[in-house]
Amino acid sequence: EPEVTQTPSHQVTQMGQEVILRCVPISNHLYFYWYRQILGQKVEFLVSFYNNEISEKSEIFDDQFSVERPDGSNFTLKIRSTKLEDSAMYFCASSAYKGESYEQYFGPGTRLTVT
Amino acid sequence: KNQVEQSPQSLIILEGKNCTLQCNYTVSPFSNLRWYKQDTGRGPVSLTIMTFSENTKSNGRYTATLDADTKQSSLHITASQLSDSASYICVVSAISPLVFGKGTRLSVIA
């Protein structure tokens, strides 16, 4: 069964460094999402992406964040200058169609630790 | 403000027993409600999706109910198994994006 994959599974970085989290969505999906989950807290929406542009973003997704689909398979989240509070699990998700009736499939997540 | 509240926060049950998890939401306008299962350190996996007109939906031993008037949902797990130990997250969809609850941490013990 097709699944969303994410790399790395765990990333440790120093405050102020740039990180890139990578995702490979399900191959025929067109809509892509990033979420984060701070330890012990709920999952929070960051950004949605379709047709090579951001569809929607949350207040969390400030100028330090950017997303890109550099080729036909990868979907990346870049954090330009990491802060301690960026430490969290980051989940990528994809869906075949736009609209809230359609299933989003989540990847296993990348645990980001900022020291 | 769109919010999803879940109870209990955590629950321990014996293997083979049933349990019911609760979800209350104040999300408007409402599109659909989903229950996800999240194993520790993994991404959420969908169990059910219900629209406004659906009152109940089953997926194996999982049965979700929805009362759109009172804005409440429940997830009933029948004949629990050790592998049911996970967090169960209620997620409500407005126009977009998804609004997540904090989850109920279920532990099934032998």
Is B93 or B47 the better-scoring residue by pLDDT?
B47
Q: Do B37 and B101 touch, CB atoms closer than 8 A?
A: no
pLDDT beyond 70 at A101: no
Chain A residues whose beta carbon lies within 8 Å of the beta carbon of residue B32: 100-101
Q: Which of A100, A101, A105 to mutate to test the interface with B (most CBs of B within 10 A)?
A: A100
Residues of chain B with pLDDT > 90: what percent? Answer: 77
pLDDT band with cut points at 50, 70 and 90 for residue B86: very high
For A70, the token pair is 């550099």
Please give, one letter per residue, the 3-state secondary structure of chain A: CCCCEEECCEEEECCCCCEEEEEECCCCCCEEEEEEECCCCCCEEEEEEECCEEEEECCCCCCCEEEECCCCCCEEEEECCCCHHHCEEEEEEEECCCCCCCCCEECCCEEEEEC
Task: State pLDDT tens for residues B20-39.
Answer: 999 999 988 888 899 999 99
Task: State pLDDT tens for residues A18-36.
Answer: 999 999 999 989 899 999 9
For B62, the token pair is 């999982």
In chain A, which residue's Cα lies nearest the Cα of B91?
A: A43
Between positions 57 and 96 of B, the ones with CB within 8 A of A are 89, 91, 93-96
Between positions 78 and 107 of A, the ones with CB within 8 A of B are 89, 91, 93, 100-101, 103-107
pLDDT at residue B40, rounded to an integer: 87
Looking at residue B110, the DSSP 8-state letter turns out to be: -
Using alpha carbons, list the distances in angstroms from residue A101 to A31, B4, B21, B45, B96: 13, 18, 22, 16, 11
Mean pLDDT of A59-88: 94
For B104, the token pair is 């109920």
